[in-house]
Structure 1
């Protein structure tokens, strides 16, 4: 569905006849509605668990109502019903709230009204109840002349899987989840909902929500993205495993004038970052092999890069958002991806970041040049077993400092046997911890000197270099140990 809606938006920007645009607009609106319905069961669970996120964004209520009515126009005409709308013009044009959740509430109520009404009228009304200095209280109502609800069923109508009668589902279809979700969505925004109904005469569902007042204009209602002429030639990496979503992101980003590369999972994304600099990463959270959380954590903690990272997610919950922040992501965008929102977030992050693709390339080069250990060999040797990796790192951290001291002291004391023994014990750890072979060769030269006491030129300098590199390795490996330990504890919890 994310891909269907996304490509429909792309098509809507092309040259179309009025009829083609009308059909595509209907597809987009129907797709948006279907996404809402698909998410109903998930949303109910989220609200129950306190994980639902309610946005606060400027929008026009009148446009939200119009969009929902347009979705049901053909069905209402098909059933020979009359659709009426009443709108209070005293309601401020632009308010701050969650338009998506308002759509979801009205969609469910309208869906029921159309479903359970076989003749007569459906009325959708919106009126201003109260206006304060900072907020307004608006009452929304959906009235129908349908089958109505029996008095003994009214008190349970907002419970999960409840319908007017046991035969309602068989006759009209549906799960009975819609009203339960509506009640939860209204009440978790601090609102209230009620119903008045008479069997065989119809029902009126009304709810009240408060909205903040604002002087800010609502989002541009067209799908046209106004491009910033100063922001161009950006290099964007998209980490996404679904082919349709990959193509959609390529299409959008190229329309912005950006260059785009695709990585099918977090591991590939990391490999690509090591080879090529990027201005920003769009990171899907759920990917095989290495997900978006793991990849971001690696980029921040292991690679030490500050490139902006935006999470792509179809499931926006407080848990996910908190985790995005904790691993170092800069922002998130929900699927289906809104093109204007995507462009705005990319521009804001790139303009506000000190890290460009060029500075990232230099930063990465310096990090790679400065870092003396490489965990790839240890990972292969332990088959990525975190317990074994921690044991081997701990062993290195315990054994290396005493060996360094012994190496230095034996050189000062000219105890060549002890010097030979200390360096001999150090040599195997260089390859295990991914330390450059140059230092292993240097250690062998010190070992040869201890054995023969010949060609002593530079021996003090070599011992000092070995001390420095081993101290740096200890520092890096302590960090690796803590990262592995933290990740292991996270998995356990």
Structure 2
């Protein structure tokens, strides 16, 4: 039994295998730590946007966004320092190096023992007098004002709340659907359709002043027009999807009845 208590430590476990999730949760909770579960990379990103965590356990082979993509997104957009430990069942040459390059702090292969897991966690969290110290989270939660601005729509609606809400409702219904269609077009290598969709939702992004996506959507347009596929385009679309979901969530809470 590992003697290192993790009381008050909050861990995000990103794992899509139910048995593995139960196993890891049981081990971690036995130390007093709080565990929050996500079964794909996109859900993990949303949780990190909205809540502080002390450590992330990240399976590499996840649906929607794999562990490498998710870690790179976290490092670029949310936190440079939150510890991220990779978990995988596939030990292949170079995979540990890929984990480090993506920004992970450690690597553990399945199947692992209780001691293996807790020892690895202990390398990423400071201890004082044998008890884990809570790390001040550096993951950032983007406030609604940083995600978008309604100033333009408010000017257009001239103080009429109903009109403003109607415009916001159209955005929340149509733009996420368009992003879904964009992802399908990307998977089908339909560059013409990708360009048309990106061009169509570009004014919507500008109207809500979603500054983090203004360059993003234009880059997607250029890549699609030039039929340039690859990881950069994929990451642009992933960023677009995550941010639109966050904006829609904020709009539904703050603006829509």
Fold match (TM-score > 0.5): yes
Cα separation, 1, equivalents of 2:26 and 2:48:
21
Cα separation, 2, equivalents of 1:322 and 1:227:
28
Which one of 179, 186, 203 corresponds to residue 430 of structure 1? 203
**TM-score, L = length of structure 2:** 0.59
Cα separation, 2, equivalents of 1:434 and 1:302:
20
Evaluate the alpha carbon distance shift between residue 265 and residue 394 of structure 1 in structure 2; reply closer, same or farther with a 3 A threshold: closer
Evaluate the alpha carbon distance shift between residue 376 and residue 327 of structure 1 in structure 2; reply closer, same or farther with a 3 A threshold: farther
Deviation at 1:490, TM superposition (A): 8.8
Task: State the Cα deviation string for residues 356-407 of structure 1 (Å, max 9, x = none).
Answer: 46442xx2235x64344998565234244334686369869xxxxxxxxxxx
Deviation at 1:342, TM superposition (A): 2.1
2:161 — aligned with what? none
1:364 — aligned with what? 141
1:391 — aligned with what? 195
Which one of 72, 92, 95 corresponds to residue 320 of structure 1? 95
Partner SS state of residue 269, structure 1: helix
Partner SS state of residue 4, structure 2: coil
Which one of 245, 248, 251 corresponds to residue 26 of structure 2? 251
Answering whether residue 122 of structure 2 is matched by residue 347 of structure 1, we say yes
Answering whether residue 3 of structure 2 is matched by residue 226 of structure 1, we say yes
Cα separation, 1, equivalents of 2:218 and 2:86:
29
Cα separation, 2, equivalents of 1:478 and 1:487:
16
Higher relative contact order, structure no. (Cα contacts within 8 Å, ≥ 6 residues apart) = 2
Deviation at 1:346, TM superposition (A): 1.9
Cα separation, 1, equivalents of 2:135 and 2:193:
35
Cα separation, 1, equivalents of 2:145 and 2:86:
29
Cα separation, 1, equivalents of 2:52 and 2:74:
13
Aligned residue runs from structure 1 range 83-94, under 5 A: none
Cα separation, 2, equivalents of 1:329 and 1:389:
36
Partner SS state of residue 318, structure 1: coil
**Which consecutive unaligned segments of at least 5 residues does structure 1 have?**
1-223, 397-427, 440-468
Deviation at 1:248, TM superposition (A): 0.9
Q: Is the 8 A contact 1:379 1:389 kept in 2?
A: no
**TM-score, L = length of structure 1:** 0.34
Larger radius of gyration: 1
Partner SS state of residue 142, structure 2: helix
Aligned residues: 196
Evaluate the alpha carbon distance shift between residue 334 and residue 301 of structure 1 in structure 2; reply closer, same or farther with a 3 A threshold: same
Evaluate the alpha carbon distance shift between residue 390 and residue 383 of structure 1 in structure 2; reply closer, same or farther with a 3 A threshold: closer
Aligned residue runs from structure 1 range 190-269, under 5 A: 224-227=1-4, 231-269=6-44
Q: Which has the higher strand share?
A: 1
Evaluate the alpha carbon distance shift between residue 267 and residue 474 of structure 1 in structure 2; reply closer, same or farther with a 3 A threshold: closer
Q: Is the 8 A contact 1:235 1:279 kept in 2?
A: yes
Evaluate the alpha carbon distance shift between residue 369 and residue 385 of structure 1 in structure 2; reply closer, same or farther with a 3 A threshold: farther
2:57 — aligned with what? 282
Cα separation, 1, equivalents of 2:34 and 2:196:
43
Evaluate the alpha carbon distance shift between residue 435 and residue 249 of structure 1 in structure 2; reply closer, same or farther with a 3 A threshold: farther
Which one of 174, 177, 180 corresponds to residue 380 of structure 1? 180
Cα separation, 2, equivalents of 1:379 and 1:490:
13
Q: Is the 8 A contact 2:14 2:37 kept in 1?
A: yes
Evaluate the alpha carbon distance shift between residue 348 and residue 477 of structure 1 in structure 2; reply closer, same or farther with a 3 A threshold: farther
Cα separation, 2, equivalents of 1:305 and 1:391:
33
Cα separation, 2, equivalents of 1:288 and 1:473:
24
Q: Is the 8 A contact 1:311 1:332 kept in 2?
A: yes
Answering whether residue 10 of structure 2 is matched by residue 270 of structure 1, we say no
Cα separation, 2, equivalents of 1:313 and 1:371:
34
Q: Is the 8 A contact 2:51 2:141 kept in 1?
A: no
Cα separation, 2, equivalents of 1:245 and 1:369:
38
Q: Is the 8 A contact 2:2 2:115 kept in 1?
A: yes
1:308 — aligned with what? 83
Answering whether residue 97 of structure 2 is matched by residue 297 of structure 1, we say no
